[in-house]
Copies of this chain bind each other. A is one copy, B any other.
Amino acid sequence: MRLSDLGEEALLDHVFDKFHLPKSGPGLVVGVGDDAAILDLGSGKLTIVTTDMMVEGPHFRLDLTTPYHLGWKAVAANISDVAAMGGLPTWTFASIGLKPDMDLEFADELFEGMTECAEKFLSKLVGGDTNAVEANSVISVTQLGEVEKDRLALRSGARIGDRILVTGWLGNSIGGLYLLLKLGLDEAAQQFGWLVDAHLMPMPRVWEARAAVETGGVHAMMDLSDGLGRDLPKLCKVSGVGALVYADRLPVSEDLRRAAEVLGADAVDLAAGGGEDFELLMAVPPDDVAKITRAVKETGTSITEIGEIVEGPVEIAYPDGTHKPLKGGWEHFK
């Protein structure tokens, strides 16, 4: 079997099954299967570890980003995983592979983006590794974080009847990507700066996540890195539940609607299927919706109730009454 037939997520599951690798155990609160690993090193708080690689080609094209944005996003994607557990970022490590004929200026801007993203979320870049590559550049970040034991948010806690909340807007990032592909960096940034920013310089929802978990009401949480259509089914699977989301409740920005026209795409499809928004997806009990909504809004970020946790499959309901399986999103090997 080829890796492309299996898919990247199935590969990690396959490997962990095959070699009987632990998903929990002494010192290991949570292993693979959530946004990050949770270790109990005996410090009182839990230690969060996540590692995420970005590869030239599947993840980025150097003509459609800047080195600064590339560095920012590589760190942001990892910090987003820490946020998704309810934690605070602490220490950042970056291993990069660049072509030897690249300018030092490129590396400077790349590291500027990485350090500025780390510092914005109170983490510090303190280690790494630099390597020469022949073809595709690569940036691999490892992010550490910490979370109080009673603030830890997992994917697995969703319960029937919970309401589903998302922060911010959905689909802006993939809208920005498609605009970049269609118009090029300069033109896309000029016409749709906000969507391009959403794609190139995502903001991990660290403070929003902290505000939410500090209410004590979050049953389950993850970040939307692969898109609602791929991520909500993951949360439901590990929670042993289903979900129903309403197409007309998805937070779709006016800019995305305008972009969808330019792209000949459907804005709701982009919102439901697009990845890399790095917004938070939460399952919360009905009685806590108001409290959590208020807490998150105080950080300056919007939050929207888009559906509920149910028995059965994961579906999206359209205004005409039809239900469809919720799917979409990104899969790198495929």
Residues of A within 8 A of B (CB): 1-6, 8-9, 11-12, 14-15, 18-19, 21-22, 25, 27-28, 31-32, 36-37, 39, 41-45, 47, 49-53, 55-59, 90-91, 93-104, 106-108, 111-112, 115, 124-136, 138, 140, 142, 144, 146, 332-334
Q: For the complex, would chain A's binding face be called helix, strand, loop or mixed by DSSP majority?
A: mixed
**Structural contact, B91 and A127, CB atoms closer than 8 A:** no
Q: How far is the CA of A220 from the CA of B39 in the complex (A)?
A: 30
**Structural contact, B126 and A12, CB atoms closer than 8 A:** no
Given A128-B32, A131-B55, A132-B332, A19 contacting B50 (CB threshold 8 A): no
Q: How far is the CA of A45 from the CA of B5 in the complex (A)?
A: 44
Contact of A57 among B37, B129, B133 (CB under 8 A): B133
Q: How far is the CA of A11 from the CA of B41 in the complex (A)?
A: 33
**Structural contact, A55 and B103, CB atoms closer than 8 A:** no
Closest Cβ of chain B to A230, distance in Å, is 15
**Structural contact, A53 and B3, CB atoms closer than 8 A:** no
Closest Cβ of chain B to A69, distance in Å, is 17
Closest Cβ of chain B to A62, distance in Å, is 13
Contact of A100 among B4, B94, B111 (CB under 8 A): B4
Given A101-B3, A138-B97, A53 contacting B129 (CB threshold 8 A): yes
Given A91-B49, A108-B15, A97 contacting B55 (CB threshold 8 A): yes
Closest Cβ of chain B to A45, distance in Å, is 8
**Structural contact, B129 and A51, CB atoms closer than 8 A:** yes
Q: Which of A37, A91, A99, A100 has the most CB of B within 10 A?
A: A100
Given A19-B115, A115-B19, A37 contacting B131 (CB threshold 8 A): no
**Structural contact, A131 and B22, CB atoms closer than 8 A:** no
**Structural contact, A100 and B3, CB atoms closer than 8 A:** yes
Contact of A132 among B45, B55, B103 (CB under 8 A): B55
Q: Which chain B positions have C-beta within 8 A of A108?
A: 15, 18
Q: Which chain B positions have C-beta within 8 A of A111?
A: 15, 18-19
Q: Which of A1, A6, A104 has the most CB of B within 10 A?
A: A104
Closest Cβ of chain B to A223, distance in Å, is 14
Q: Which of A49, A56, A95 has the most CB of B within 10 A?
A: A95
Q: Which chain B positions have C-beta within 8 A of A130?
A: 8-9, 11-12, 332-333
Q: Which chain B positions have C-beta within 8 A of A55?
A: 97, 131-134, 138
Q: How far is the CA of A126 from the CA of B2 in the complex (A)?
A: 24
Q: Which chain B positions have C-beta within 8 A of A49?
A: 91, 93, 127, 142, 144
**Structural contact, A3 and B52, CB atoms closer than 8 A:** no
